[in-house]
Amino acid sequence: MIEIQWPWALAFLPLPIIIHFLLPYAKREEAALHVPFFSLAAGFEADSVAERRSMIRRFLMILAWTALVIACMRPQWVGDPIDLPTTGRDLMLAVDISGSMGTEDMTLGGARTTRLQVVKQVVGNFVERRKGDRVGLILFGTRPYVQTPLTFDRNTVRKLLLETPLNIAGGKTAIGDAIGLAVKRLKSRPTDSRILILLTDGRNNVGEVAPLQAAKIAAQEGVKIYTVGFGADEMQVPGIFFNRTINPSAELDEKTLSEIARRTGGIYQRARDSSELEGIYQELDRLEPIEQEKETYRPTKALFAWPLGFAFLLSLAMAALHPMVTSWFVALLRRRERARAEAVS
């Protein structure tokens, strides 16, 4: 169906008539513009033809003004109501993008790569599978920020995650602040559907809120937190004479992450490579959906461009019917006929 957003714009329709009767006629003075070929066109047009042309131009002006008023009323086509999913969860994903996520202790497709690249791949696939869920994305480093709010548009969430550069939020890790921001975004949602999945490879070393204090607030607000500790246990690094084996995840604070999950009713899981990380997110995929309030939306499409384009075409037609344009066209034809006659003779 078609709806009108600004019906009050219809009041402008009689405006030209009001101006015609209220304003005095302008005093017309003899034109100072001399047209060289005017004498050729003089007498060509009879009074009846001129009157008919004037009536056509007035009719076109009325149509053009009516089309402009209709365009100002902003008509739009409104489609049938579409029901949004009535079951699902509100999942807020908090992903660590601090400097340590650039550690190359992972393999993906047989090639060595960084932790962040593996997270983008695995979490991106996880987001793609969450049909029916609202998914939001928080990126955190020294500071957390919301990359996408809770939305059904999973493709956009996945795309923005894949485009995330390393260290854009700072090189340190503010786990507590990330939890606090997630709680703020989730507190308006139904109590049984507030879920945060937090992934990090380090420990909290900056921020205004301690992780356990943030977990306490999350528990009070009914936010369940699933924590994931990511990073390999062993990594070969070149030394002076031979390669050394180090633990690149020595800074991972598993105790705090486990306590955060315990206090909020979630679970903590450890991922040492891409396959384990994929397994964890497949496990999280099996979360039971909960009922939510039914929501609908109606697709809309603006239609103002059609009457606006019609008014533009009518203005071109009026310009073509102007006496000056007609005189110039007639004079041009006569000149061509005269030139042909002279060429024949």
Q: What is the pLDDT of residues 127-152, one digit of tens each?
A: 988 887 889 999 999 999 999 999 98
Q: How confident is the model at residue 237 (pLDDT cuts 50, 70, 90)?
A: confident
Structure tokens at 225: 């937190």
**More confident site: 262 or 245:** 262
Determine the pLDDT at residue 90.
85
- Please state the rounded mean pLDDT for residues 33-53: 53
Confidence check: pLDDT of 280 > 80: yes
Average pLDDT over the chain reads 83
Q: What is the pLDDT of residues 282-332, one digit of tens each?
A: 888 876 665 556 667 778 888 888 989 998 998 888 777 666 656 666 666
Above pLDDT 70, what percent of the chain?
Answer: 83
Residues 6 or more apart whose Cβ sits within 8 Å of residue 292 = 86, 87, 88, 190, 193
Determine the pLDDT at residue 1.
80
| CB neighbour burial string for 262-293, b if at least 16 within 10 angstroms, e if fewer | eebebbbbbbbbbeebbebbeebeebeeeebe
Determine the pLDDT at residue 146.
95
**pTM value > 0.85:** no
Confidence check: pLDDT of 81 > 60: yes
How many whole angstroms separate alpha carbon 122 and alpha carbon 137? Answer: 14
Q: Name the 3-class secondary structure at 331.
A: helix
Q: How confident is the model at residue 43 (pLDDT cuts 50, 70, 90)?
A: very low
Domains of the chain: 2-24+35-79+301-340 (no CATH), 87-294 (3.40.50.410)
**More confident site: 327 or 186:** 186
Determine the pLDDT at residue 197.
94
Residues 6 or more apart whose Cβ sits within 8 Å of residue 27 = none
- Please state the rounded mean pLDDT for residues 99-126: 89
Residues 6 or more apart whose Cβ sits within 8 Å of residue 293 = 86, 190
Determine the pLDDT at residue 36.
52
How many whole angstroms separate alpha carbon 229 and alpha carbon 251? Answer: 11
Q: What is the pLDDT of residues 1-18, one digit of tens each?
A: 888 888 898 898 888 888
Q: In the 8-state DSSP scheme, what is residue 146? A: E
